[in-house]
Amino acid sequence: MKNRTRKENRSRRDFIKTTTAAAVGGTLASRLDVIPGAYAAGSDEIRIGLIGCGGRGTGAVANALESAPGVRVVAMGDVFKDRLDESRKNLTEKHAEEIAIPEERCFAGFDAFEKVIASDANYIILATPPAFRPLHLKAAVAAGMNIFTEKPVAVDAAGIRAVLEVYEEAKKKNLHIVAGTQRRHQTGYLETMKRVHDGAIGRIVAARCYWNQGGLWKKDRQPEWSDLEWQMRNWLYFTWLSGDHIVEQHVHNIDVVNWAMGAHPVRATGMGGRQARVQPEYGHIFDHFAIDYEYENGVHLMSMCRQIPGAANNVSESLTGTKGHCQVNRYTIEGDKAWRFRDEDNSPYVQEHTDLIASIRAGKPINELKNVAESTMTAIMGRMSAYTGKMVSWDQALNSKEDLVPAKLEWGPMPVPAVAVPGQTELI
Ligand SMILES: NC(=O)c1ccc[n+]([C@@H]2O[C@H](COP(=O)([O-])OP(=O)(O)OC[C@H]3O[C@@H](n4cnc5c(N)ncnc54)[C@H](O)[C@@H]3O)[C@@H](O)[C@H]2O)c1
C-alpha cells in the first residue's frame, strides 16, 4: 500500500468514486477490494484500440488513461504512418507504463481500422475525420466493441441513416457507446440542464447558439501529395470529409439545444457563404452560416457559426423560457428561480471516459449514438438549407440522396467540388 505512487492513489480514489456511482447490487463490495494493478489481465481490463491518431485521438487516449484504473492501449491505426508514429511517440513518452505497443500492433493505411478492431482491443476510440465514422462504427459494432466515438458521426444523410442502423444493432448487443459531445459529461452543464428540465425557466420559447471564431489550422500542400492526400491532410475544408464547419464544430452547440428541447428541429431555413476564406487552400467550404431552426412545438433556434479571423468570438448557448432565461454555457439561470453554478467544474474530456468505463464495468449500457446522430443530422440539415437557399424539412434532409463519401478511395486525382451557391445548388 505505502509503495503506491501518487498517480496510483489518485487512480484508486477515482476508481472508488466511479465504482460507487456505477455499482449495482453485489458488485460494489467485490470491486472496492480491487487495486489498479489487479486489472493487469483481469476481465474488467479496458484495452484501447485507437483509430485516427491525430490531435483528438491522441488526447482521447490520454484522457481515457487518466479516467480510470485498469486501462491500457493495445493497438493504434491511422491512414498516415507519420501521424501514427507521432502519436505513438507522444503517448509513449507521457504514459510509458500503459503504452508499450510493439510495431506489429501499429497499423497504417485505409484498412488500419480493420486491423485495430481485429486486435485484442475491447474499447475502440474513433477519432478520424467524420467521413469515415459510419464505416468504422459499423465495423466496431459488428465486432461487438464498446466505443468512444468523436463527433460528428457522419457528413451526410446516407451516413446518418447508416449510423442509426448501427445504433439499433449496438442496442441489441448491449454495447456501450459514448460520443465526444462532451458537454453532456460536464458537471456545470449537467447541473444547469437538470434545472432547465425541472422547469426553472418554465417552458422554453426560444433558443440561440453560436460557434463564432477565427480561423483554424491548414497544412501547406507538398509536391509529393496527390489530390486525395492533400484533401485528407486538410480535411476540415472539404465537405465530404468534415461536413463543413457547421457540422464539424457547431454540432456541439446544436447538441446542447437539442438536449434542452429533448428533440431535434423539424425544419431549417439558413444562409451562409464564403467571404474571407476564399483561397483554394481552404477547399470549398463556407466560412459562415446562420440558420433558423424550428422544432415541432414551434420553438425557433437561432444558430450561427463563423470561422473568420478578426471577427468577434462567441461560443455559447442560451434558452429563453416563459419564466426566465438560461445562459447554458455560463451555467446561470435568471428569473424567479435564479441560480448560478458555483461548484468546481470537471474535465468533461476525462469524465466521458470515466462514465463509459463505469457503464461497461457495471454492465449497464450507455448508448449516446442516437443523440449524436440526431445532432449531426440537425447540422447537416442546416448546411443543406444554406447551400441550396431552400427551406429543408427533417424528412427531406434525412431521406436525401446526398452521399458524399466515395465508396473506394485511392491515392490520386480528386477534383474539388464547386463552392455551393444558394439558388443554384440543388437539394438532392
Ligand atoms: N470533442 C471535441 O471537443 C473535439 C475536439 C477536436 C476534434 N474533435 C473531432 O475529432 C475528430 C478528429 O479531429 P482531430 O482534430 O484529431 O483531427 P486530426 O487531423 O488531428 O486527426 C485525424 C486523424 O485521423 C487520421 N485519419 C484520416 N482518415 C483516416 C482513416 N480513414 N483511417 C484511419 N485514420 C484516418 C488522420 O491521418 C489524422 O491523424 C474529428 O471528428 C473532430 O471533429 C472533437
pLDDT band at 98 (very low <50, low <70, confident <90, very high): confident
Instruction: Give me the mean pLDDT over the 267-274 stretch.
Output: 98
Most distant CA pair in the chain: distance in Å? 71
Instruction: Give me the mean pLDDT over the 5-24 stretch.
Output: 34
Q: Residue 397 class from Cβ within 10 Å (0-12 exposed, 13-18 middle, 19+ buried)?
A: buried
325 membership: H or E segment, kind and range: strand 324-327
Which three cell numbers mark 166?
448501427
Which residue has a Cα nearest atom 8 of ligand 1? 56
Which residue has a Cα nearest atom 7 of ligand 1? 56
Phi-psi region of 255 (alpha: psi -120 to 50; beta: other; left: phi over 0): alpha
365 membership: H or E segment, kind and range: none
Which pLDDT value is given to residue 186? Answer: 98
- pLDDT (tens digit per residue) in 325-336: 999 999 999 999
Is residue 378 within 8 Å of 264, Cβ to Cβ? Answer: yes
Which pLDDT value is given to residue 9? Answer: 35
70 membership: H or E segment, kind and range: none
Q: Residue 103 class from Cβ within 10 Å (0-12 exposed, 13-18 middle, 19+ buried)?
A: exposed
Question: pTM of this prediction?
Answer: 0.92
Task: Find where cell 442502423 sits.
Answer: 165
Cα–Cα dist 371/185, whole Å: 14
Q: What is the CA radius of gyration of the chain?
A: 22
- pLDDT (tens digit per residue) in 164-212: 999 999 999 999 999 999 999 999 999 999 999 999 999 999 999 999 9
Query: What's 186-244 look like in SS3?
Result: CHHHHHHHHHHHCCCCCCEEEEEEEEEECCCCCCCCCCCCCHHHHHHHCHHHCHHHHCC
C-alpha 125, offset from chain centre: 11
pLDDT of residue 304 exceeding 50, the answer is yes
Distance 349 CA to ligand 1 centre (A): 15
pLDDT band at 18 (very low <50, low <70, confident <90, very high): very low
Cα–Cα dist 38/147, whole Å: 23
Which residue has a Cα nearest atom 2 of ligand 1? 180
Evaluated on CA atoms 163, 167, 168, 172, the torsion sign reads: positive
pLDDT of residue 24 exceeding 70, the answer is no
Distance 155 CA to ligand 1 centre (A): 13
Distance 227 CA to ligand 1 centre (A): 19
126 forms bridges with which residues in the sheet? Answer: 51, 149
Please provide the DSSP assignment of 27-43 as one string: HHHHHHT--GGGGTTST
Taking the CA of residue 152 as reference, the ligand 1 atom at the shortest distance is 41
355 Cβ closer than 6 Å to some ligand 1 atom: no
Structural domains in the chain, CATH included, are 6-183 (3.40.50.720), 188-343+369-398 (3.30.360.10)
pLDDT of residue 38 exceeding 50, the answer is no
Distance 307 CA to ligand 1 centre (A): 18
Is residue 144 within 8 Å of 173, Cβ to Cβ? Answer: yes
pLDDT band at 42 (very low <50, low <70, confident <90, very high): low
